[in-house]
Structure 1
């Protein structure tokens, strides 16, 4: 598979990888055809797993190579990493405040951002879509770094990141479609809404790869920016949701398992 992917340029590689992550989102959404609800313990464990994957990916696949690359380019490594990381978190914070959306498990009256008459289903999809922007960007930047000839970047590491993001997209797809089905939406429509949350990943992935290839000097910043945005999602949404049903032990174990699997993928393949 690696040799097959190696034959394409970085933007096509990023497109293939993020189409895969989108496909896993759709696979998770397809659970709605078999279940109308998911056991709360299972669901919270899945959310914890997604959080663990994102935390591990943020360090091993993004911050660590960002630090190495900043040093190679002659930048102040810690300053570049800190600036990029905080910029990523601030970006999503500002998006949160300007785009109407709603987190899972909340009533329509508890939507965030500007008040709107959008339906609950649209608000839920918007919230998950916000997660997927930094995920797609991270994958695209990783493949762009390989094409740019960055010594600390490898194709296997970029593929490992895409696999890890794909794994954590599975519960995210289910997290949209199944609650919508439980509220009375048809299975087909709930599935369409669930998979739609992943559409932004191929777009963000290609843009990330193009950015790196166009402005190579921005790569350390871009890597840490994606990490900051991902950690924002984890802390602001995934972990609070996973802990909201008094299943903290299951959610915590999910985080540990997700972190371990992503760490193994990145270290073993990278």
Structure 2
């Protein structure tokens, strides 16, 4: 599938449930997007009323995407990205950040969410020099993801695997860790793992997790930072390591969120 060919998907709109909160729409609301429904805003407002820090997590996550991609392109010479759990397009998507610096960058997005599929054309835009492609696949099929991504990405050169705010949806974290390991095993030496997720680092975040799950949405589980950090076992961490998002190469935008934001992330390199 090229950047100009998005197949028709019959019945996608019928698969979109607007009666329950949806994680991509919920997060879209928190970062100022317009692709959300009243049910998403209601739950968002309910949680913001007792824990406004969750907005900081959403904003800090978007900032981390921008800073990490910029760093990898500028400082590490990375030109290939495999972004799993794409979510809804807002500002500063992976391909926009990478191709603004290196127009020849190649990006493959992966998701299997029916709502995200309806926005595929918005995602599948690219500079003439680069490529942006999209795969409809499940995180738990690393074999399918790697086989499809290899049609666009050159697996003889390093690839940055992006898993941003997505692994909280994994009920079995050990299984998710195995999937991440399988994905990294399929990528060449010099490839990188970029991860962030919400963390159990405040009572407010734990209460927000409970309220979100009780809303009827697909659960999102916040975990201890040390558990998430095990995803990087066997990789060499780029400084400053696995830290709060506010501490990872902070810039002027970082000051717009709380320094103690309840989200940690980092970047590791495969030998």
TM-score under structure 2 length normalisation: 0.28
Structure showing greater relative contact order (alpha-carbon pairs closer than 8 Å, 6 or more residues apart): 1
